[in-house]
Each structure stands twice: as C-alpha cells, then as structure tokens.
Structure 1
C-alpha cells in the first residue's frame, strides 16, 4: 500500500520468457497485486511468470493475440473488478526502473492527479541512451499527441510506465481504447475527454538489458499519426460539442478548411502555370496567401484556446 491505497501492477507480456521473471522480482513490496497478461505468447512467458512463486501474482493468458493495448485493457479490467485504488503498468522487458514506481504512484494515491506517466525525454541521458530513430520518432509523436489529446504539458507520449486512479479507470470505456502500440496516445485522448488530471514524472531510460523490441518506427508511426488524427476530431466532438460547447471547434474547422482550400488552389495555379503557361493574376496570388495565412491564424488561435481550456488538468 501507498498512502493507505492498494496498488496493482499490470504487466503486459508477449514472448518475454527471458525477462518477465526479473521484472516481477523487481516489483517493490508496497505493491499488493501483480497481474501478468500473457498476450498469446509462443514461448514459456506464462510459465516463467508463475515460477517466481510471488503470492501477489495472477497470470491471465489470452487465447489470441490482442496487442499490447489489449493486454493492458485486460489487466485494467481485472484491477477494476478488484477495486484496486492505483493501477500501474510496467512492461515485461525489465526496461522500467522499479525504484521509480513510488514516484508514479505517490501523486495518484494522494489524489493530486488521476494519471501519472513516465517522461524519459527530460533526462539528459535520453539522447545518448535511446536509439536515435526512436528518439526522433517519439519526439514527433509527442508533439502530435499534445495537439490530439489537449495535454500540452505532457511529453514522451510513447512511455508506457504509468499509474492510474480507480476513479479514472472506472470512467474509461476500455472497449474503445486502441489495442496496439498507439495505446498510450489513445489513452491520453480518452482521459482528456474525462477531464482527468495528468502529470509527467521524470524517468531514466533503460536499454541494453536483453530486451527485444517489436516496434518498427516506419510502420508504427504512420498508424499512430492516423490514430491521433481520428482521436483529435473525436475529442473535439465529445468534449467541445456534446459535453460542453466551446467556440474553438469553429476556429479549428475554419483553420483546416482555409488551409486545405488555399493549398489546393495554390497547387492548381502552380500546375496551370508550369504545365500550360497560364498567367497568374495578382488577385489569385492574394487569395491563396489570404487563405493560407488566415487558416494558420485560425489554427493557432484554436490551439491556444485548447491549451487554456486544459491548463488546470495538471
């Protein structure tokens, strides 16, 4: 327990027979429940987990692979049923420092925030320790997640080391959450609709412990970007239209419309000039510039309104 609150750790695992036992043995004594979700591994992950003999341990095995998000959702559902006060997530690859778990659990247990997540990018070691392609991909996705989720103060959106309050967990629709590697991003979008308070907690990146990454940034990044695009407009509808109207939706809509129209018109004019030698009138140039500038201004104002609307969710 922490601050009189029961604590659980969900460990999503896929073919982690080499490291899952070390992960479990490293989980601090203040944790009351450990739920390992074996996402239909083809190795001895579940057996190695049970072999630790930890009395706090429960192993759930998926009959089919559901993705890391699906495994976390299964663990969340179990902890919700057990009414655990704070539910954390730690990967089974031993890349999350168990000594940092208390700093994640503390703010949630004290009721300061609803969701605490690790941030590896604030560490001076991040650039040296994290593979460059993943670091840059993470930075880009973090920026997109800020826009999509409305949590402008949150970075390192791909970090899966988290702690969630029981109240926030009960308000989430687990069936709607994304099932694959974009789960942490989608989680933030859904939490924002619930007006959940979120805090970043500095974390030290750990690599070179024998982990095997299944992430290919060139394949995953476009999928997450599309997920965030859809999540952004879903959040606009749910939070600023259905639940409590806010005029920033007009700014975002006008910004997107003017930018797209201005870009397409500029493209048509450019092709017409280069392909057929047609003249470009001054009025056309002014119109394209006006559309692009106005679209950018509307979008920036909308971002500012969104940031102001969410500044208390820290």
Structure 2
C-alpha cells in the first residue's frame, strides 16, 4: 500500500531472463502486486517468475499470453488484471530493469493525491539524457515526441516513448483496454485516447538507465516512419472523436483548410519549379499565388494548433 492506496506494477516480459529477477528484487515494498505478463518468451523468463510467484503467491502474479501480442498487448493484459482487482494506482515498468524503482514514488504521488490521472516519466528533463541515451534513439524520440504533442493534444508532454507510467483506477475503468495498440506505438495511442476523455496527464522527471545488459528490439530507423504514420491516423481519430462526434469545435475546420491549402501550395510550387527548370518562364502571378496558398495554409494550421492548446491546457 502507498498512503493507504493499493498499488500494482505491470511488468511486460519478453525474453527477460537476464534482468527480470532484478526487477522483482528491487521493487519497493509498498507495491502490493507485481503483475508479470509473459508475451510468449522463448527463454527462462517464465521459469524465473514462477519461482518468485511460488515464494510470494499474493504479490508476484504471472500472466501468460496465449500468443505473442507485443508490448502493448502485454500491458493491456496487466491493466485488465488491475482493473478487475480494483487497484487504485497501476504502474508499468519494463522487464529489462531500465526503469529505476526509486522514481516510482514520484510518479505515484500526484496520482494518489488526485492531482493527475496519468503520470508518465520523462527522461529528457535530465541533463544526463544526451550522454546516456544512444544518439539515434534520442533524436528519434525527440521527433516522435513532437509529433505526439500534435496528435495527442498534450502539448506539455515530452518523451512520448517512455513506458514508465502510473494510471489511476478511473483511467482503467474508462478506456477500452482491448482496443489499446499492441506494439511499440502503445504509449502514443494511450495518450491520444486519454485526451479524448479529458484525462489529466503529468510529466515526471525520471533517470534514464542504459548499459546494464538490456537488449532492445527497437530499431529507430524503421520505427520512426511507422510510428509517424500511426500518429497521423491517431491525430485524425482524435479530431473526429473529440471535436466532431463528442463536441464540435471549429479548430477542425482550420486544420482541414490549412492541410488543403498547404498541399495545393506545395503542388503548385513543385509545378513552378519543374516548369522553370525544364520548360521556361512562368507567369508572374503564379509564384505569388503559390506563396499565398502556403502562407494561408500555414497560418490556418498554426491557428488550429493554438486553439487546440487552449482547449487542453487544463489537462496538465
């Protein structure tokens, strides 16, 4: 218990035989349940967790997924267990010991105090991040964080890819946990769905941990383009759900108008450049018309972003 509130930690596991024992051993005593969700590991992960579960059956829970669902699917399974057992605050910590258990009280505190509904770690607050996080991952994380701000509406949130989070019971009761994105885009998907229901989200500084023997399956060069496309779909989904279906807001029209004008401006601009390079001069007013389209489109998008920020500033 943490300040008289029940606490569970969901630990998604996939081939974590090297470090899962360390995760369980270093878990703070106030954690009531450590829910290890095995995502069809092919090493000794299950055997190791079963040993801990036999010694502490009420505290260490093992859930074995019937098929590999990805990290998001494993977390969703843990969330369902916590929801069904009326847990007040549910954290997520990776099975590779990259999340410092000493940061858990800082994440729990605002959730337990009902100051926020969902607390998430932010490794980028620390000046150590640039030196500790591999450069390609750091840059990819920064790019995805910027896109996630636009897609999710949480403009104050950064380090979107961290999975170190704490959710209150209301979050788990409200969201459709079966609909959570099952792969590495789960944190982004979660933020978008939290925003649709106007849940408060807060960033908490945490310490980045690398070089302890973890083996990441993330390949930033492949992941960033795929997640960028996912974020475009999530952005459209949020606009539809939050600003059309649930409550209409004209910022949707500004986004739409801006996208159309910018697209037309770029197409006309491309035509002007190609025509000038390979055919000859273009009419004097054509470049002016292109500039008008781009500027009006950019202005519409910026105005839509400003309106979106105003609509969501109370969710900090």
Q: TM-score normalised to the size of structure 1?
A: 0.98
What is the CA–CA distance in structure 1 between the aligned matches of 2:229 and 2:176, rounded to whole Å?
Answer: 21
Secondary structure in structure 1 of the residue aligned to 2:124: coil
**Aligned counterpart, 1:309:** 311
Stretch of structure 1 that moved more, 285-294 or 268-277: 268-277
**Aligned counterpart, 2:228:** 225
What is the CA–CA distance in structure 2 between the aligned matches of 1:3 and 1:309, rounded to whole Å?
Answer: 33
Secondary structure in structure 2 of the residue aligned to 1:87: strand
**Aligned counterpart, 2:160:** 157
Stretch of structure 1 that moved more, 230-239 or 46-55: 46-55
**Aligned counterpart, 2:289:** 287
Secondary structure in structure 2 of the residue aligned to 1:49: helix
Deviations 1:124-165 (A, max 9, x none): 100010001100110110000000000000000011000001
Q: CA RMSD in A?
A: 0.9
**Aligned counterpart, 1:42:** 42
Matched, 1:203 2:206: yes
What is the CA–CA distance in structure 2 between the aligned matches of 1:51 and 1:221, rounded to whole Å?
Answer: 38
Matched, 1:101 2:104: yes
**Aligned counterpart, 2:85:** 82
Matched, 1:6 2:9: no
Secondary structure in structure 2 of the residue aligned to 1:140: helix
Matched, 1:111 2:114: yes
Secondary structure in structure 1 of the residue aligned to 2:258: helix
* Structure 2, unaligned runs of 5 or more: none
Pick one of 259, 263, 267 that aligns with 1:264: 267
Structure 1 residue 110 displacement after superposition: 1.2
Q: Runs of at least 4 residues of structure 1 off by over 2 A? A: 52-55
What is the CA–CA distance in structure 2 between the aligned matches of 1:207 and 1:54, rounded to whole Å?
Answer: 29
What is the CA–CA distance in structure 1 between the aligned matches of 2:179 and 2:311, rounded to whole Å?
Answer: 24
What is the CA–CA distance in structure 1 between the aligned matches of 2:152 and 2:284, rounded to whole Å?
Answer: 40
**Aligned counterpart, 1:137:** 140
What is the CA–CA distance in structure 1 between the aligned matches of 2:223 and 2:78, rounded to whole Å?
Answer: 23
What is the CA–CA distance in structure 2 between the aligned matches of 1:251 and 1:128, rounded to whole Å?
Answer: 40
Matched, 1:168 2:171: yes
Secondary structure in structure 1 of the residue aligned to 2:314: coil
Q: Does structure 2 conserve the Cα–Cα contact (< 8 Å) formed by 1:3 and 1:110?
A: no
What is the CA–CA distance in structure 1 between the aligned matches of 2:180 and 2:203, rounded to whole Å?
Answer: 21
Deviations 1:231-277 (A, max 9, x none): 00100010011111111001100010000011011112222222222
Structure 1 residue 175 displacement after superposition: 2.2
* Structure 1, unaligned runs of 5 or more: none
- In the alignment of these two chains, the number of paired residues is 313
What is the CA–CA distance in structure 2 between the aligned matches of 1:175 and 1:264, rounded to whole Å?
Answer: 41
